[in-house]
Amino acid sequence: MTTNFVVICPKFVVALILLVLPPTSCSMLTVRMIIDVSKAVALLSNGTLIKLLRSKELSHRVNAKAWPTILDIEDAPSLSVARSKAHKASSSTAAVEPSIARRPDDIFYLDFAVSTTGQLSGIVVTAVGAAKQCKSLKMACELYPSRTVTVCLDPYSGLGFTLWCLCSVYSGHQSILIPPLELEQNPLVWMQTLSQHRSRDTFCTYSVLELCLKEFAAQVGQLREKSVNLSSLRNCVVVAEERPRVQLCNAFIKVFAPLGLSPRAVSTSFGVA
C-alpha cells in the first residue's frame, strides 16, 4: 500500500508529517488544497505517484511547477555516497547543535480528511493528544503485549492512522494490518486472519462486512469445513463517519453466528476510517 507524506517545516527545520491518500486524477485538487492549507514545503512519495504529479494529463488541473519540493522515497543514495557522508560525519569536529526542547502541546501531525459532504477538514494533533488517544484504545480494548489486533482500515487519517502507526508502538501489542485493497482481491483473508491468530479485537469498516456477506453468506458451511472460527472475537469495531448501520451489523452477526461469532462482539465507532 502506498502512502503520500507531506512534510511541513514550521521552524527549526522540524518536520511534521501529514498523511495524504495516494492521489488519482479525480482527487488531485484535494491534495493540492491540503498542501496549500498546510503550507507544506516538501512532499515524499514513490516514483509512480511522482510521475502522476508531474504528468501532462494533470497539467491542465494543477500546475506541475506549483508543487513543493518532491522527494522520491525509493531514490536511495548510492553506497559510495553513503559511506562518504558517514566518514565525513564521523571525522567532523563541529560542535553538536543543541537539541530542541519538546513540549506535550507541540504539534505532532496534521490530520486532514474529506467528510461525507465533500468538505475538506483538518485538525492539529498534539503529542499529548495522540498519546491520550492511544491510551484510551489501550484501556478500552485491554491491549497488553500478548494481545493481537487485526486492523482492516485505510491508514491515511483518523483512527485508521492511529491504529496502523501509533497504537501498537504505545501499547506493545501485535497488530496485523490488512489493507482494504488486499481484501478486495482476497475476500477471505480478514476472517481467516481472525481465525488463525485467534484475534480478540478487530477494527474494520462497513465495506468489510458488506463484502463478507456478499461473498460468503451462502458458504458458511464451507467456511466451517475450512476451520474458520470466530469464537475468540470479543470486539469487532466498525469505524465510519456515518450513522450506525444496524441492519447490516445484525445481518453479519446472524449469518456468521455458526462460526462462533458472539452477538455482542460487533459494535460501531464514529470516526474517520
Residue ranges and CATH numbers for the domains of the chain are: 4-76 (no CATH), 135-270 (3.40.50.980)
Which of 17, 116, 34, 134 is closest to 3 using CA atoms? 17
Task: Report residue 49 as a C-alpha cell.
Answer: 505517484
Determine the length of the chain: 273
pLDDT of residue 94: 46
pLDDT of residue 248: 94
What was the pLDDT predicted at 192? Answer: 94
Contacts of 203 (CB under 8 A, 6+ apart): 149, 150, 151, 152, 153, 159, 163, 237, 239, 269
Give pLDDT < 50 ranges for the chain: 1-14, 93-97, 273
Asked if 171 contacts 138 with a C-beta cutoff of 8 angstroms, the reply is yes
Give the pLDDT of residue 270.
Answer: 76
pTM of the model: 0.73
